[in-house]
A and B are shown apart, each in its own frame.
Chain A
Amino acid sequence: MIIAERKPMKELLEMVSNVRRLLVVGCRGCVAVCSAGGDKEVSILSAALRLGVKKAGGEIEIDQDTLVRQCDPEYIDPLNDRASKYDAVLSMACGVGVNFVADRCPDVNVLPALNTTFYGANLSSGEWKEMCAGCGACVLHLTGGLCPVARCAKSLSNGPCGGSQGGKCEINPDVDCVWQKIYDRLSGMDRKEELRQIMPIRDWTTSGHGGPRRRIREDLLP
């Protein structure tokens, strides 16, 4: 799931300081699940903005809505028709949603309400952790399902660096050393011999360093 978090109120208030009529649009996709941009958050943010603008001596009219997803055209395209009523649309989707609105709705002045942070999992209520970097060249079968690209501070490929101590990463004692975990896991599965293999230098083209990525499936094309 894509994890996001709301931008600081100060930044948002600055963003809408010249906006008289605003539409706050949430998304019922990932950001709703990670409690960043669903129905509830849309209401909270709208109320907060009204108060904030008023407190600053401004005036604003805010309408709110939450779309099923902001990454599919059928949900987004109607925004085009509604745009004339608003000075701006504040999207509470991830960066994908904001981009998609901007791509498809030429008349809509779309603003981001969230910072999109990472691909992660929900560890417990209120805690999410990065698990995948979307590098496009998965090696998880070699590492016991634990990703060194996303979860090692230096994205090492061949085992823990000298800063691994007591299962923790040297950059922060709250961060686990993923290579320690990989070692433990493969040891448990009696596979630690596999770690003697040198993982060759990576091809980063798939991870965005080869330019914006795109995927096409011929069989599904209209």
Chain B
Amino acid sequence: MASRVMVALRVKASPGRAFEAFTAEIGQWWKPNPLFAFTPRAPGVLSFEGTERLIETRDGGKVFEIGRIQVWEPGVRLVVDWRQATFTPGMATQVEVTFEAVGDETRVTVTHTGWDSVPKAHAAKHGFPDTAFLARHGEWWRTLLGSLRAHLG
């Protein structure tokens, strides 16, 4: 077994539209959180580069690769690797996003796994006990999905 953070909510959109907003428009609803910064520098803007990778582009144009896209099924499922700049080889997390029609809404579910690969003493965990770290991370994902929902109107 391994640790897992799962957050889900409904958005008022079709699965296809929700997927499009999550991917093509991520730069519009994403909100950086200093606790979970990808790089030690000021946060940039997130975007999906084709169906290849998720990147963060800083003001000066420098690009950080957050992760490669492993699954790209528009309107259904997205799986992307997820790492911070301070991760060393062997540290890897992964984010799965699923889109499920519920009536005229879509249930968007984010499942973030792999945080066990990052040692408790690593800077990315800020000294939090594991479950507290995961709970904070879950709250951040909920904030993010709330922002996505607001973006979809």
A, B in one complex: no
Q: Chain A residues in contact with chain B, CB under 8 A? A: none
